[in-house]
Amino acid sequence: MELCSINGLKGTITVPGDKSISHRSIMFGSIAKGITEVENFLKGADCRATIQCFRTLGIEIEESKSSVLIHGKGLHGLMPPTHILDVGNSGTTTRLLSGILAGQPFDSKLSGDASLNARPMKRIIEPLTQMGANISSILRNDCAPLYITPGNLHGIHYNSPVASAQVKSCILLAGLYADSETSVTEPSLSRNHTELMLKEFGADIRSTHALSSTQATASILPCTELYGQHILVPGDISSAAYFIAAGLLVPDSEILIQNVGINPTRAGLLKVCEDMGGDITLLNERTQAGEPIADILVRTSTLHSTTIEGDIIPALIDEIPVIAVMAAAAEGTTIIRDAAELKVKESDRIETVTDNLLSMGCNVTATEDGMIIRGGCPLKGAVIHTLFDHRIAMAFSIAALIADGNTKILDSKCIDISYPEFYDTFEKLL
Ligand code: S3P
């Protein structure tokens, strides 16, 4: 994709359904009894991988233009897979599905693409093994492909070294099949869609937040049955993020993004925009199936630098590439720290973000757990190496809109992972 600078993005848009909630709707719907109907499901490649895995596990899933119908077979209704489960590029599919498979009375193997098979799985192998699961890395490198055979699961309390919703959710899902309570404490609260949604499906699940620290604990009791639900998926704030950044950065813009999920465990970007002086207004705030949503009005703003660190990081981890682009255009030096998790995403995002910003003429330094971005230098067009990372492709498409000259985004097709209509939505604002 080739892009150049523009002026005046104007209009009202919606963004596709939330990726995290879409994945969970298929998974929980499949192990619930009865039909789960999902509206505004995200039809990106990652969520399609989840659908395919559950079809391979014997679940009938019907897709229409407006919704997805899952014919759930209950907690013990999955069938042994006839072939290896293909998780594609999706870390969420891999880690959450592993938690469910650990509780099944059959063998399974799962594997993904080159990026997925290089991501760390010890973070789930360790707690699942403590629970009595039989899960191993087939190549003995603590990565997928993974092999899971039946085990008798017992409840544990797990102190997770990372604030990761994927790790937390994996353990809680295995906890559905354990013999006693399972709980997970994480250093700061990561996205809590699993806790909110499993409760709606009928699980006995609780969350507590320590008063004296940022630690958060979620606990689940073994369950006899979950029940199918109707789910209306809110717009994904991680997809809205690109249009929020575009609205702030592109001169003479005003964009209204409707129906965006603003769950506080996901909405760190809004706080950062406010700290940077962004003109953002939340309209029509409401709650839909336990998830807060709003329409977000964004207008062109003069941004200044900020420091992003500590327990806000899990609430904006996927938005850091586009925040880095905003910081490059802002006056002053922005510091991002406590974000070492960026290194184990679809690419090493500390490296991919800083390398691409450097090639656009930004003065940026990579650090062990983040980056230092000295903003305010005009960006120039460049060739962007996405390393097939969808969020890098989208973040640098926004940088291209304010850069001098043409920018070429290599392998931009990877955007299909989470936002197949990304460039079409842009056209609506021209
Ligand atoms: C996700 C959790 C996050 C996020 C990912 C989706 C989820 O990963 O980066 O895109 O749906 O649970 P971690 O929880 O591992 O940080």
Q: Is 361 helix (H, G, I), strand (E, B) or coil?
A: coil
Q: Indicate if 66 and 200 belong to the same structural domain.
A: yes
Is 20 annotated for ligand binding?
A: yes
End-to-end CA distance of the chain: 17
End-of-domain residue from the set 169, 200, 232: 232
Q: Indicate if 253 and 145 belong to the same structural domain.
A: no
Taking only the tens place, the pLDDT of each residue in 214-258 is 899 999 999 999 999 999 999 999 999 999 999 999 999 999 999
Q: Indicate if 8 and 91 belong to the same structural domain.
A: no
* Contact yes or no for 313/350 (Cβ under 8 A): no
Residues designated as active site: 318
Give the residue-averaged pLDDT of 91-100. Answer: 98
CA distance 79 to 136: 21
CA distance 352 to 127: 30
- Here the CATH number for the domain that contains residue 417 is 3.65.10.10
Residue numbers of the domain that contains 242: 2-16+234-427
Q: Indicate if 155 and 252 belong to the same structural domain.
A: no
CA distance 422 to 239: 8
Q: Which of 19, 20, 343 to mutate to test the pocket of ligand 1 (most atoms within 8 A of CB)?
A: 20
Q: Indicate if 325 and 314 belong to the same structural domain.
A: yes
Residue 211 has pLDDT above 90, yes or no: no
Q: How many domains does the chain have?
A: 2
With cut-offs at 50, 70 and 90, classify the pLDDT of residue 425.
very high
End-of-domain residue from the set 232, 264, 281: 232
CA distance 272 to 78: 43
Q: Indicate if 241 and 152 belong to the same structural domain.
A: no
CB of 190 within 6 A of ligand 1: the answer is yes
Q: Is 199 helix (H, G, I), strand (E, B) or coil?
A: helix
Residue 6 has pLDDT above 80, yes or no: yes
DSSP assigned state of 306: -
H-type alpha helices, 114-267: 122-130, 165-175, 193-200, 237-249
CA distance 200 to 80: 27
Q: Is 312 helix (H, G, I), strand (E, B) or coil?
A: helix
Taking only the tens place, the pLDDT of each residue in 250-297 is 999 999 999 999 999 999 999 999 999 999 999 999 998 778 999 999
Q: Indicate if 133 and 200 belong to the same structural domain.
A: yes
Identity (one letter) of the amino acid at 277? G
Q: Indicate if 276 and 212 belong to the same structural domain.
A: no
Q: Indicate if 99 and 193 belong to the same structural domain.
A: yes
Residue 65 has pLDDT above 90, yes or no: no
Q: Indicate if 247 and 216 belong to the same structural domain.
A: no
Chain-wide mean pLDDT for the chain?
97
Q: Indicate if 108 and 219 belong to the same structural domain.
A: yes
